[in-house]
Amino acid sequence: MTLMKPSYVFLLFLLTLAPGIWAVRSPAAAMARRAALEDGIGQTPQMGWNSWNHFGCNINEQVIRQTADAMVDSGLAKLGYVYINIDDCWAAYDRDSQGNLAANTSTFPSGIAALADYVHQKGLKLGIYSDAGPRTCSNLMPGSLGHEEQDAKTFASWGIDYLKYDNCNNQGISPQPRYDAMSKALLNSGRGIFFSLCEWGSDDPAIWARAIGHSWRTTGDIQDNWASMTSIADANDKWASQAGPGGWNDPDMLEVGNGGMTTEEYRSHFSIWALAKAPLVIGCNISSRSNETKGILSNQNVIAVNQDEHGVQGHKGTKCNKMETKKGPAGASITARWSSIGLDPATVVDVHDLWTDEVISSVQREMKQTVDSHACKMYVLTPK
């Protein structure tokens, strides 16, 4: 599906949350924004996969190759999921005799350059991980503090396309100069590398990271449960105005498919992340994902909202005290009036349900729907 420009498309998102109800809408007007980096990378939120949520440190080159294979074979790659990102624990415990990072020969015997070649042959991109301290978060491999130029050149020589950069063992030094050092090193490396800052929002990177990287974590780590996911969505919402083409708020990777939530909850999780213009970075085992998981991750209507070229992040709008709601055992009946979502009540719209793919023609003034607990309904309203 190709969305019309935001000046003509209105997005209404109804979500039932225990114990209350809230609505999210995307602004109708967009102001184009470009990252200070001006390198053309990250003009829409990144899409791909990361090893950490499911595998943690239990990674090896076979897992990465199988994931790349599954990304292509499942059709997810064609939908835009192109980054295959290796997280912590990929490197040897110490640097080599030349002071370079080197792959752990037990788990990545072919080396990272060969793995990058394999991933690139699939039409995908390879991401890697380091840390803005002397050791990474696992303490099982060196970080890049003081080695930024050296490591950036190493990554570029291997064909790396993406760097996730953590903030463990930071020695109490402000993150901004440490992240800036790696940003400059990547720009000097001779290769375009997506720079994903991960200091968990502790120093409000949404304010300063646009000049340094392409995405920045706004929250702590997500857990695979409803309470964690929704609290992180709330925390990320604060920074909606800071996101735009070239730089994105990152509320952490997707948990869809990892088993801690219901199918309806995962559908809500994916919908919120898409509407928030968050990176759509899969965190489950793609090789063994269920059909339900694939169905959520491959909804082209919802992905189109996330990848809209104008890059306006949706944010929490009308709350339940401004909407007519009637709760019952099956959920809640919600009446969303045009006046409460920024539309002239006289406006006639076609309503496209992004999950059922059904269209209701010529709706005016309001829309009433029943939403189950922890479920969502997501619509594009197109004025006629």
Q: Which amino acids are annotated catalytic?
A: 166, 221
Closest residue by Cα to residue 21 from 323, 262, 354, 236: 323
Q: Is 339 left (phi over 0), alpha (psi -120 to 50) or beta?
A: alpha
Closest residue by Cα to residue 281 from 309, 303, 313: 303
* Contact by Cβ (8 Å): 240, 275: no
Environment class of 136 (CB within 10 Å of its CB; exposed 0-12, middle 13-18, buried 19+): buried
Which contacts qualify for 327-333: CB closer than 8 Å, 24 or more apart?
Answer: 330/370, 330/372, 330/373, 331/16, 331/370, 331/371, 331/372, 331/373, 331/375, 332/16, 332/21, 332/370, 332/371, 332/373, 333/368, 333/369, 333/370
Read off φ and ψ for residue 2, nearest 5 degrees. Answer: -105, 120
Interatomic CA distance for residues 244 and 248, integer angstroms: 6
CA dihedral 378, 318, 280, 253 (to 10 degrees): -130
Cα 211–chain centre separation: 19
Q: DSSP readout, 159-212? A: T--EEEEE--S-TT--HHHHHHHHHHHHHTTTS--EEEE-STTTT-HHHHGGGT
- CA distance to 154, 265, 339, 371, 378, per residue, from 268 (Å): 40, 5, 25, 11, 9
* Contact by Cβ (8 Å): 334, 325: yes
